[in-house]
Amino acid sequence: MNSRFPSDAAPIRLFRNPKSGHCHRVELMLALLELPYVTVDLDMANGAHKFPEYLKISPLGQVPAIEDNGDFLSDSNAILIYLVRRYATDDRWLPSEPLAAAEVQRWLSIAAGEIAAGPCSARLVTLFGASLDHEQAIARAHALFVVMQHHLEQRSYLAGSSITLADIAGYSYIAHAPEGGVSLAPYPSIVAWLARIEAQPHFVGMARSPALA
């Protein structure tokens, strides 16, 4: 196992919705770090994420959350940082050099901002019936993808020449953007970047839904 995970520790528990990109980015990180984990799928359609017992784990009633040896943590980007700081054997996922670390953080902010408002929101409308402006979400996604296309024409990964947390945080919703009606066809550099992530050892994908674009 390529991590500092104790051999006698219980697997990490991942509380999730299997079609949530926020949850998938955590599962992908767990897999890439070769960490033992089990998934706990919440019946969110019936409000399981708002039940009192789950609110003790995730006070905002959001997924994902994890339990690791009795410690609980929610928020996908926070979990990513925890996992690599706790278990990765080197700093390639979150560099220690200040400028490189800041570049990763910039893309974590984009994951929580532009990606959430664009491809994530568009997919929330088509898959979950969210009351959001679908056309606006699609427009935001394309505005982001134009920038990313140019960015990835000049480098292999979002924060440089090797894979980092930036790529893990960005992958899920962008790979599944067509499910929200956002075509990736105009963005060959993005498609190539997705393929590089999918070629990583121990990669795990998210359940596919019908593409609309």
Name 103's Cβ contacts closer than 8 Å, sequence gap at least 6: 159, 160, 166
Over the stretch 126-155, which tens digit does the pLDDT of each residue have? 999 999 999 999 999 999 999 999 999 999
The whole-angstrom separation of Cα 140 and Cα 123 is 12
Contact in structure between 19 and 207 (CB atoms under 8 Å): yes
Over the stretch 91-114, which tens digit does the pLDDT of each residue have? 999 999 999 999 999 999 999 999
Q: The tokens of 117 are what?
A: 């408002």
DSSP one-letter code for 120: I
Long-range contacts of 92-97 (CB under 8 A, 24+ apart): 92/162, 92/163, 92/164, 93/29, 93/163, 93/164, 93/165, 93/168, 94/164, 94/165, 95/164
Q: In the prediction, which pLDDT does 2 show? A: 65
3-state SS class at 104 = helix
Compute mean pLDDT per 10 residues along the chain, 213 residues long, and list them: 79 96 98 97 84 89 94 97 96 96 98 98 96 98 98 96 97 98 98 98 94 84
Name 3's Cβ contacts closer than 8 Å, sequence gap at least 6: 33, 34, 35, 87, 88, 89
Task: Give the β-pairing of 37-41 and 12-16.
Answer: parallel
Q: Kindly report the CA angle at 153 between 175 and 94, in degrees rounded to 5?
A: 65
